[in-house]
Structure 1
Amino acid sequence: MMRFSGDGLQRRSFLALVSTTPLLTAWDVRAQTRPDPIDALVAKIVTEHQADGISVAVVQDNRTRHYNAGLMARDGSPVSERSVFEIGSISKTFTGLLLAHAIKERRLVASDDVRQHLPAGYDNLVRDGRPVRLIDLVNTTSALPDNIPDWRTAAANAKPSEAALVAAQMLANYSTDQLMIDLRNASLVDVPGRTPRHSNVASELLRVVLERVYGQSYQTLLARYIERPFGMGAGVVEPPRSILARGYDGTGLEAPPSIDAVSLGAGNLRYSAIDMARYLNAHLAASSPAIALTHEPTFGTPETGAIGYHWLVNKTADSQLYLSHSGSTYGFSSYCEFYPGKGYGSVILANRVGLEWRLGELARAVHETLFGPPAGLKALEAMLEESDYADVAASVSLVRQRYPELHLTEDYVNGWGYRLIEAGRPVAGRAMFAFNVASFPASANAYDSYGDGLAATGDKGAAISNYRRSLELNPGNDHAREMIAKLVQP
């Protein structure tokens, strides 16, 4: 989330993770006979000064391994699996799971008009005859504003190093009652159910609905349906300072904590890697009908990218189903993913803002270390390197003849392009972005990234054209607007 994401507070009760089987797995044998390569992958985040501390939990076949590097704070102790981090927008999956429980208990129906569960006075939560439904709140198609109040406007004139503080101060005394008053004057940015867009307000509103329906606080519902059943610590109580990691902004300055009460359902939860490993284990086991419901696509398809109850549902390069979510607050980044068919998942917590993409890359590197690269993807990489990315589409077509399971999502190709640019190969990166635009011609993000690739190779005119196309598809794309302004300057 980036509410800067309001994320919040916690006390913990920690239970030791004790294996119930004395047998050594292949994983155990590897760990005893040679250094674990995952340790080096994790430590690299700290040694490259991308974060002061990082905590990783890797779950496989009901077993969990922890990897930690760096410090909880610059004047504090080393990170451990018990260190508590802000998890940002991953909090939204918790709120989505609470909705799933309410649906399974027949307290709510996914297709309910949200106004059915609010006081009178919210006639603005409809556009072109289409109301905001409960399911729209969890599959990101609500068309609600991203933030109320809009901290971006308030922080517009602040220095970059002060923007988080401005946002935190604005939200410090902001109440749910004030949110609901302000919501009456909010305008939907689109027709609900049409286009996925990030909205913290959607999850904040869902929290309000759940509290009204149950007559209980969000904290109580969280403990009842998630934390106690999974053996997790409490996510909305201030943890002891001795285990609380401190977050840092993009410049390395200490960031304010995300503790505003309004944003609990959107991003104000704090957990340790132990807690999050238990959360992932519960999802891998699909231990309740409600959990299974949160995995079902409610918008889109896994082939091109789907959304469940906040979980992003995609397929890997070898067509394996996986679910993921990331988060960010004023001073923290997080990422988690799991593969239901493999009994595998990982969660990564770091005390530096803006690392979601980097943590996702780390998760994929860990996965590849354990399972190896998909054969089709490996063949495609070799062919593209040999041709210096001369014809990406033709190479993909040839490889698929031998490896029909080869599956390339928009996000995967996008990441590939940016990795090439970062490696000093802008022409190759541009080729990957061009392939993405041809594969996903309705994607604003694909055109935006292609614009970046063209700009990196010095083709300003074509870059501006693609940024403008991106803006046509998504008028809210601030990056495209900023890049056009930059490129038209003499």
Structure 2
Amino acid sequence: MMFRRIASAAAAACLLLSSPVMAQMQIPSDAEIQVLLDEAVSSGRTKGVALGILRPDGSRRVLTAGTAGDKIGPVAPEHVFEIGSITKTFTGVLLAEAIRRGEVAPEDPVAKHLPAGTRVPTRGGKEITLLDLATHRSGLPRMPGEWTAPDPQNPYASYQPEDILQFLATHELAHDIGTQRYSNYGAGLLGLALVRAAGAKDYKTLVRKRILQPLKLRDTSFERPERGMSVGHAKNGEPVPHWDVDGLAGAGGLNSTVGDLLTYLDAHIGPARSDLERSMRAAQLPQRDIGKGVWKIGMLWQMRERNGRWIVSHGGGTGGYGAFVAFDPQSGAAVAALGNTDDFDGDFVLEILAPRLSQEGE
């Protein structure tokens, strides 16, 4: 699964930056990392890439390689990429913030926060809760099965909030509530429920008001900028259309820069300095075990144990982009990588770090 490859790379990056033997190891130089970024481009893994690193001391560095588009030029730190499912982590933070504000409780049935009369499927006498949605244990499918995208190159453009509710009206759960199944649909439904609980206009407005504006993430939005948007590419290197996401905005739809993502990750680390940052700490607390004791999930943040540390991470991908973010809450190290090619997975980070991790017995 692409997410697990991404998370492994992210975990490795954070482990290197936070390693107790870091002082005895040579941290990769910009020149060393640049070689591997260039190789990721020359090998066809991606047309362009931006990699950002936040060190435990708070210092940052951003390196880039390749092109943002034939008519744009080389990738620069300020270029914007689609981040796909990394948007889910924003939905997780919104859930934690809604809990802090008293708007919802994690064990609330989702039906409580949907329009009156909305049918929500049950199974085995259980109702789907908000926390079930946030931990991918709702029993709902990855995508609504009866829905077919009119435009495969922009598959979510026509899917609206009312379509989410219409699907619920007839769907019967094929899996027990509590079964671990990744669900884009479930994350979108959670976003819709949080909008109603907050009395907000829509999901995009709620994200802007509660996360983007307080953190001053000026280059992160659901709208594409007039300038600075990198071009997405298929695996064969051909340009592809951008994705527009409305109804399922809570599952994926944000665009961002590597710098904004580092700021977002930084707000998850260290002592909380605001109510929002306290909600961010709550969103990353493990809620469920999802894999042999070494994989856990919080409120849509996923985490893996590596060398005694829990690395918090998430990946994202759209038709022309791939991304991952990760951080080590214990040390304050964080990594963000953005690529503008379908299925870009950031494996090059492992190539940067694997030799050094082997010195730790990894």
Q: Shorter-normalised TM-score: what interval? A: 0.7 to 0.9
Q: Which residue of 200, 203, 209 maps to 2:184?
A: 200
Give 2:50's aligned amino acid: S
- The question of 1:334 aligning with 2:323 is answered yes
The residue number in structure 2 matching 1:275 is: 260
Cα distance in 2, alignment partners of residues 268 and 171 from structure 1: 9
1:376 CA drift (Å): 2.3
CA shift, 1:286, in A, is: 5.6
Alpha-carbon spacing, 1:328–1:169, altered in 2? closer, same or farther (3 Å): closer
Q: Secondary structure at the match of 1:326?
A: strand
For 1:199 and 1:349, the matched residues in 2 are separated by 23
Question: Which residue of the partner structure matches residue 213 of structure 1?
Answer: 197
Instruction: Give the direction of change, closer, same or farther, for the CA distance of 1:74–1:337 in structure 2 (3 Å limit).
Output: same
Match of 2:97 among 96, 101, 109: 101
Q: Map Cα deviations across residues 155-207 of structure 1 (whole Å, 9 max, x no partner).
A: 7xxxxxxxxx83345533332123312221122231112x2212111111111
Distance 1:91 1:231, change over 3 A: same
Shift of 1:372: 4.5
The 5 A counterparts of 1:133-152 are 133-148=129-144, 150=146
Q: Is 1:310 aligned to 2:294, yes or no?
A: no
Query: Over aligned residue pairs, what C-alpha RMSD do you find?
Result: 2.5
Aligned match of 1:56: 51
Q: CA deviation at 1:342?
A: 1.9
Structure 1: which amino acid aligns with 2:302? L
* 1:351 is the counterpart of 2:346: no
The one-letter code sitting in structure 1 at the alignment partner of 2:299 is Y
Q: Deviations over 1:359-382 (max 9, x none)?
A: 1x333444557x7445222xxxxx
CA distance in 1, matches of 2:183, 2:27: 44
Q: TM-score, normalised by structure 1?
A: 0.63
Change (3 A) 1:169 1:247: closer
What are the Cα deviations for residues 125-169 of structure 1, in whole angstroms up to 9, with x where unaligned? Answer: 211111111001111111112113656xx47xxxxxxxxx83345
Contact 2:269 2:332 (C-alpha < 8 Å) held by counterparts: yes
- Tell whether 2:63 aligns with 1:67: yes
| Structure with a larger share of its residues in helix | 1
Q: Residue type matched to 2:90 in 1?
A: F
Q: Which runs of 5+ in 2 are unaligned?
A: 3-22
Could you say what secondary structure the match of 1:300 adopts?
strand
Question: In structure 1, how many angstroms separate the alpha carbons of the residues matched to 2:232 and 2:222?
Answer: 17
TM-score (norm 2): 0.84
Percent of pairs with identical residues: 28
Greater RCO structure (CA 8 Å; 6+ sep):
2
**Residue segments in structure 1 that go unaligned for 5+ positions in a row:** 3-25, 156-164, 378-490
1:198 is matched by which residue type in structure 2?
Y
Structure 1 letter corresponding to 2:31: D
CA contact (8 A) 1:138 1:310 kept: yes
1:225 maps to 2:210: yes
Conserved in 2, the CA contact under 8 Å of 1:124 and 1:188?
Answer: no
User: How many residues align structurally?
Assistant: 332
Mapping 1:68-467, distance limit 5 Å: 68-148=64-144, 150=146, 154=148, 166-168=151-153, 171-193=156-178, 195-216=179-200, 217-233=202-218, 234-240=220-226, 242-285=227-270, 287=272, 288-300=277-289, 303-316=293-306, 318-356=307-345, 359=346, 361-367=347-353, 372-377=357-362
Alignment partner of 1:230: what SS?
Answer: coil
2:244 match: secondary structure: coil
Does the C-alpha gap of structure 1 residues 100 and 306 become closer, same or farther in structure 2, counting only changes over 3 Å? same
Give the corresponding residue for 2:33. Answer: 38
User: How far, CA to CA, are the matches of 1:226 and 1:372 in structure 2?
Assistant: 35
**Partners in 2 of 1:275 and 1:291 — Cα distance?**
16
Q: CA shift at 1:237, angstroms?
A: 2.2
Paired letter, 1:235: S
Instruction: Output the CA distance in 1 between the equivalents of 2:146 and 2:238.
Output: 23
- C-alpha contact 1:346 1:363 (8 A) present in aligned 2: no
After superposition, give the CA deviation of every residue in 1:239-278 in whole Å (9 maximum; x if it has no partner): 12x3101111222222221113112111100001111110
Contact 1:145 1:186 (8 Å CA) reproduced:
no
Q: Which residue of 2 aligns with 1:410?
A: none
SS of the aligned residue for 1:229 comes to coil
Equivalent AA in structure 2 for residue 296 of structure 1: L
Deviations 1:60-110 (A, max 9, x none): 121210010011112222111111000011100001100100001111100
Q: Alignment partner of 1:131: what SS?
A: coil
Amino acid at match of 1:323: V
User: 2: distance between equivalents of 1:322 and 1:72?
Assistant: 30
Q: 1:123/1:179 Cα in 2 relative to 1: closer, same or farther (>3 Å)?
A: closer
Partner residue in 2 for 1:381: none
Cα deviation per residue 1:334-380 (whole Å; 9 max; x = unaligned)? 11111112211101100111123xx1x333444557x7445222xxx
